[in-house]
Amino acid sequence: MKRLLLALVLVLPLLTSCTKKENEIVIGEYDSLTGSDATFGLSTNKGVRLAIDEINAAGGVKGKKITVITLDDQGKNEEAASATTRLITQNNVVAILGGVASGRSKAAAPIAQSHKVPFVSPASTNPDVTKIGDYVFRVCFIDPFQGLVMAKFASENLKLKKVAILRDVKNDYSVGLADVFNEEFKKRGGEIVADLSYQAGDIDFKAQLTQIRSKNPDGIYVPGYYTEVGLIAQQARQLGLKVPMMGGDGWDSDKLYEIGKDAINGNYYSNHYTTESTDPVVTEFIKKFKAKYNETPDALAALGYDAAKILVAAIERAPDLSGKAIRDELAKTKDFAGVTGKISLNENRDAVKSAVIIQVDKNNRKFVTTVNP
Amino acid sequence: MQDFIQHIINGISLGSIYALIALGYTMVYGILKMINFAHSDVYMVGAFAAYYVARFFGIEANPGLPTLITLLVASMVVCSLLGLAIERLAYRPLRSSPKLNILITAIGVSLFLEYGGQVVFGADPKVFPEVMKDFVLFNIGSVELKSFDVTVLVVSLIAMLGLQFLIHKTKIGKAMRAVSSNASVASLLGMNPDRIIAFTFIVGSALAGVGSVLVGMKYPKIDPLMGMMIGLKAFVAAVLGGIGNVGGAVLGALIMGLSEEMVVAYISSTYRDALAFGILIVILIFKPAGLLGKYTVEKV
C-alpha cells in the first residue's frame, strides 16, 4: 500500500504536466522570491501577474488564456539555471521571463538559447546578458547608458564643471557606470578631479572623502548600491562636503534615506521610471497596481509589467507558437508604449529608451527630468 | 597639511573601534591561550540586540544620553550572556582537548552565529537607530573633530585602563593571572578556573557589546556579517600589539587604523584589507610576540 501511494505521488505530477491543455499558452518565469534580494523578485513578479491578469481579462491571446508558471531561484545562479531547464523541458513553456540580477540571467539564458526558447529579462542591465545569443532580450536599458545620462544631466542641467567619482571596484555595475560617466563628462568639457574607489562592505569612507574634499569638486558621482551610498553621504556631510551627489538605479530603495538620513536629501540618481509621470500608461498602471496589491509599484514592478506585455504582444503577432516565430516578432518590437517609457529593441536586443532623473526628497522620489538616449 | 591632520583624526577614530574589539581577543587569549574567533560575531549580536531594544521601546525617537546608556546596558547584557553560553557549551567541554580542536570549534561557532544571524535577523542590512547627535567639538580650517570620534577613543581608553586595573589591582585579576600562568596549579591553590574563565568571557563579551553600540552609532548599517572583516582586523591589531597584552591591543589597533587610513588616502582603497594581513605577516616574521608582547620559551 505504502509503495503504491509512493508511486502515485511520484507519477501524479508527471501526469499533470504531460496533459497539455489546448486552450492555454504557458509562459515560464523564474525570480528571486526568497533570498537576500527577494524584494526585487517579488516586485517583478507582481508586475508580471498584473500584466497577465489584464491580458486574460481582455480575452487572452489568439483566443487562449495565458498561464504563467513561476519558479523561485532563491537568489542563486544555479537555481536560476535549473528552474529554466525545468520550465523548458517539463512545462514546455513557449517563452521565459527571466530574473532581475544579471548574474542569474547569465546562468539561465544560455539554456533558453540552446533550446531556442525566447528569453526576456525585465531588469538585467549588464551589457553581456544579451550577447549570449539571438533568443535573449531585455526591456531595460544597459549599465553604460546610465553613466551617459548622468554625465549629460550633470553638465547640462546642474552645470557642474569639476566632478569627483567614487566607485565600487568590486561591482561590475558600478565600474561600468563610472567609466562611461568619466568619458562622457570629459567629452562635454567637464573635468574629473578625482577618481577613487571603495569596496562593497566597507563602512568607513573618510579617507577617500577627505581626499575628494581637498580637490574642491562641484559634485560627486557615486554609482553604487544604497547601503554604502547612504554611509558615504553621511560621512561626506560630516566632513563638510556639501556638493550634490549623483548615482544610478542602485540607489532606488527606501533604505537609502533610512541610512543616509538628511545627508542624502536633494541628491540625484537615474532610474527607469517615475511614479510622478502624467503619462496615462503610467497613471493607469499605478492605479491598477495599487488596487491589486495596495502598494506603490517600484521600478522593478514596472519593468516586470513591461516585459510581460512586450512578450505577449510578440506572441500575439507571431504566426504560430514556435520559439522562432516568437523570437522574430520580439526582435521587431518598436515604439512599444510601456510604463518605463517608449521601448524599441535594437539590433543587440537591448531596449532603447529614455531614463529619468530622480531627486531624493526625504522618503519620496521626486521626478526631475527625462533624459533621452 | 590640513588633509593630513584630518587623515590622522579619521585613522585614530577607526583605530579606536578596532581597539574595543581587539581587547576582547586579547583578554581571552591571555587567559585561555586560545583565539576566540566567535568574538566578532558576539559583537554583531550585540549590535542587533541594541537595534531590537531600541525598536521595541521606541527610544530611537529621542536620541540622547539616556538612550545611549540603555542601549549600552542592553547590548552588554546580551553579549555577556552569549559569551558565557559559548564558553559553557562550546569551549568548556573541550578544555582538555588539543588546542587545534578548540580553534576549529571557535571558527565553527563564528560561522554558526554569522549564518544563524542571517536566518534570524534576515540577510539585508538594518539601519541602526540614531542614539546621539553627532556634533563638531572644534575645527581648525576644514579640519573637524567630531564628538563621536572622541567618544569612541575615550571609551576604548577607559576600557583599557579599567582592564589594566582589573587585572593588576583586584583579587579576581590576580586569580586570572594565576589561571593564565598555570590553571591546574591555580586550582590546587583553591581557585576555580572554570569560574574565572567564565568571568573573562563575560568581561570580554561585554566590551564587544560596548563596541557594537559605538560602531552602530558611527556607521549606522548593521548586518549579520558585519563582524567578519572588523573582527579579523581587530585580531590582527591584537597580534600586532602582542596578543594577551591589554595596552598592546590598543596600540596595535591605533596603528592599524592609521595605516589603513593612510593607505586609502595616498595609495588605493584596494589595498585596504590586504594591508592588515601584510602587517600580520611582517610582524610574525620579525617580532612574533608582537610590539609589546613578551617572548616566551615554549617548554617541550
Residue B128, CA distances (Å) to A256, A367, B53, B213, B223 in order: 13, 29, 11, 9, 10
Could you tell me if A162 and A193 are in contact, meaning their C-beta atoms sit under 8 angstroms apart?
A: yes
Residue type, position B113, single letter: L
CB A118 within 8 A of CB A135: yes
Contact B127 A35 (CB under 8 A): no
Residues 90-129 of chain B whose Cβ lies under 8 A from any Cβ of chain A: 123-125, 127
d(CA A283, CA A276): 8
Query: Could you give the CA distance from residue A184 to residue A280 in angstroms, rounded to a whole number?
Result: 33
Instruction: Using pLDDT thresholds of 50, 70 and 90, give the confidence band for residue B167.
Output: confident
Q: How confident is the model at residue B298 (pLDDT cuts 50, 70, 90)?
A: low
Residue A36's pLDDT band, with cuts at 50, 70 and 90, is low
Instruction: Please name the residue of chain B whose CA is at the shortest distance from the CA of residue A170.
Output: B270
Whether pLDDT at A249 is above 90: no
| Minimum Cα–Cα distance from B6: chain A residue | A210
Q: Which residues of A touch B123 (CB under 8 A)?
A: 35-36
* Residues with Cβ within 8 Å of residue A308, at least 6 apart in sequence: A27, A47, A48, A51, A52, A55, A68, A97
Give the chain B residue nearest A197 (alpha carbons).
B269
Condensed to tens digits (0 to 9), the pLDDT of residues A313-329 reads 999 999 999 999 999 99
Residue A15 has pLDDT above 60, yes or no: no
pLDDT at A144 over 60: yes
Which chain B residue shows the shortest CA-CA distance from A38?
A: B124
Binned at pLDDT 50, 70 and 90, residue A18 comes out as: very low
A299: which 3 cell numbers?
A: 521600478
**Contact assignment for A238 to B144 by CB distance below 8 Å:** yes
Q: What is the pTM of this model?
A: 0.78
- Grid cell locating A335: 515604439
Report how many Cβ contacts below 8 Å link chain A to chain B. Answer: 75
- When CB atoms are compared, the residue of A198, A207, A230 closest to B265 is A207
Closest by CA to A356, choosing from A339, A368, A342, A364, is: A368
Q: Enter the ipTM.
A: 0.78
What is the tens place of the pLDDT at every residue in A93-133? 999 998 888 888 989 999 999 999 999 999 888 888 999 99
User: What's the pLDDT score for residue B192?
Assistant: 87
Task: Please say whether the beta carbons of A111 and A84 come within 8 A.
Answer: yes
Nearest to A28 by CA among A134, A140, A118, A133: A118
Q: Does A255 touch chain B (CB under 8 A)?
A: yes
CB atoms within 10 A of CB B47: 30
CB-based contact A203 B269, cutoff 8 Å: no
